[in-house]
Amino acid sequence: MCEGSIIKTAAGHQGAAHVGRCHLLMRARRFRDAEDGGMLFFSLVVMLIMLFIGGMAIDMMRYEAERSRIQATADASVLAAASMRQTQPPAEVVADWFAKKDLSASLTGVVVDNGLNFRSVRAETLTVTKPYFMQMMGIDELRSNAASTAEERRTNVEISLVLDISGSMAGTKLSRLQDAAAEFVTNILGEDTENRVSISVVPYNGQVNVGPDLMSRYNVQGGHTYSYCIDLPESTYYQLPLPTTLPMYQHADADTFNSSNTSTSWSTSNMTPSTSNIWCPANTTNRVRVHSNNVSALTTQIRNLTAFGATSIDAGLRWGAAMIDPGSRAMVTSLANAGIVPSTFNGRPFDYDDEEVLKVIVLMTDGSHWPNEFVKTQYKSGPSPIYKHTDGYYSIYHESRSGTNKYWVPHRSEWRAVPWSGSSSCASWSCVSTSARTPLDWRIVWQNLRVQWVANQLYRRALGGSVSSWIDELRTREGTVIGSGPHEVSEMDGRLNNLCGLLKDQNVAIFGIAFEAPTEGRNVIRNCASPGRFYDVEGLDISTAFRAIRAQISALRLTQ
């Protein structure tokens, strides 16, 4: 052994070179057999693996954080866009959300599905991140596709059918409207098994006949029982509520339109009112029906509509809007309590922002605005200065007349100190019969005399001036008839446009139907209708228009 040799050598005084070799051999053996430091290499390998795995985790965390940010943005954006109160285009709403988060590059598409009572919005996204560590494995990017969808549906529906029944609708046009509207009502309500759909019918011509039940719920003055129309104040066209407490005058049952003899001498020609072209005829079928789901009652009323009179689209829409405005809730509740409206609709109209409610107006016309006419307030009711004797002759008191003879007697073309008493010799109240001493109420005047006859025989012949100026004193006309048309009716057009804007601001769906209408009528209906909701139809196509509207409402059978 080398150790023994070394000892021997040391003892036998061997050479130094041999001793050196033995020391080297011994050190080599010790190095070979030593175990300390054996984990270093393994530790280095493990550390590299841990660092790599940690790097992958960092890459995945970065990817997941970005994916989560994109998903959260997509979720929030589609919720905002799907709201049926949202007035901006849904795709633009989603894009704006992504732009504000600086994520526009991650939005790959927006899919929008709009129905009358629902809106669905789907945002499609792509998440891409560049890894730091995974590139060592040949992975240059991490990516994934995702989508977020939101949908809003409404299940309670309030519909106002605002239908033109003016004189130009007479004949085939009216029958086609009746067929289309009756079919619409039948099918819409046939799909409603839970009493969620209410339909109001608002027929209109030159006025809207609201009927005695509805009129009694409003603060109407100057009342009579000949017909049931209201001269709406100008202010009512610039707000959606139609307050039941607002003082309003009943439309005078007067012939303001038809002409009479304009001679400067006495004449009874065309003295009594005509039943044609009267603004509010005494009709029991052309009345407003409030919130009903009775198919038989609704279709019967539609079938019994009669065409008559002028065209006031603005008045029709004003009452159509009142039927779905929450400000009318007390009125509808009162009618429900009286058994006139089904009890299931007690509490309607719902609020505009109720997410469970869809409000619809179908506005139809075959014409354009015709200048509306009505007797001025001071001549609607109350004592007039006009007297009538039992022999049928009239006289009128004019305060402005100088002297003592202030009573004009047109059939004698003379002034007198007292009303006509049936005797040319009567010059004092003592010979005036009791029945002839009381002036007529204006409502009685208009039941017996045309406005133009009164303007000519009782005012112009007595005081001078022109017939037209005295007609203007008694009556208001909202525009000018230019030949057979068009008409200067900018006031009525403006009121309609304003009311349409207010309704659309509340997300009321307005469907406009121009049925063989002139250019002016088509334009006002097109401007009023919600985007994509205008129908310009002729003949039997009016049924197609109503079917298209119903097709969108049919989704009401689906619930949220």
The C-alpha atoms of residue 41 and residue 43 are separated, in whole angstroms, by 5
| Structural contact between residues 206 and 370, judged by C-beta atoms closer than 8 angstroms | yes
Among 459, 448, 400, 393, CA closest to 426: 393
Residue 539 predicted with pLDDT over 70: yes
Mean pLDDT of 75-102: 88
Residue 5 has pLDDT above 60, yes or no: no
Band the pLDDT of 54: cuts 50, 70, 90: low
Q: CB under 8 Å to 517, separation ≥6 — which residues?
A: 365, 366, 367, 368, 525, 536
Q: How do residues 390-439 score in pLDDT, each as one tens digit?
A: 999 999 999 999 999 999 999 999 999 999 999 988 999 999 988 889 99
Q: How many CA atoms lie within 13 A of 318 on its CB side?
A: 30
Confidence of residue 12 (pLDDT cuts 50, 70, 90): very low
95-99, 110-114, 300-304, 487-491, range with the lowest pLDDT: 110-114
Strand partners, 360: 159, 509
pLDDT in tens, 319-342: 999 999 999 999 999 999 999 999
Query: Going by DSSP bridges, is the β-strand pair 480-481/386-388 parallel, antiparallel, or unpaired?
Result: unpaired
The DSSP letter of residue 506 is: T
pLDDT per position as a tens digit, 457-510: 999 999 999 999 999 999 999 999 888 778 899 999 999 999 999 999 999 999
Statement: residue 36 has pLDDT above 60: no
How far apart, in Å, are the Cα atoms of 231 and each of 116, 306, 360, 422, 488? 33, 21, 25, 38, 20
- Amino acid 118: pLDDT: 72
Please report the pLDDT score of residue 47 as a whole number.
Answer: 65
Query: pLDDT tier at 35 (50, 70, 90 boundaries)?
Result: low
Paired residues of 409 in beta bridges: 414
- Choose the weakest-confidence range: 114-123, 195-204, 410-419: 114-123
Looking at per-residue confidence, does 13 or 132 come out higher? 132
Whether residue 250 contacts residue 443, with contact meaning beta carbons closer than 8 Å, is answered with: no
Domains of the chain and CATH, by start: 2-30 (no CATH), 40-153 (no CATH), 156-251+283-372+480-557 (3.40.50.410), 382-475 (no CATH)
State mean pLDDT over 442-450.
Answer: 96
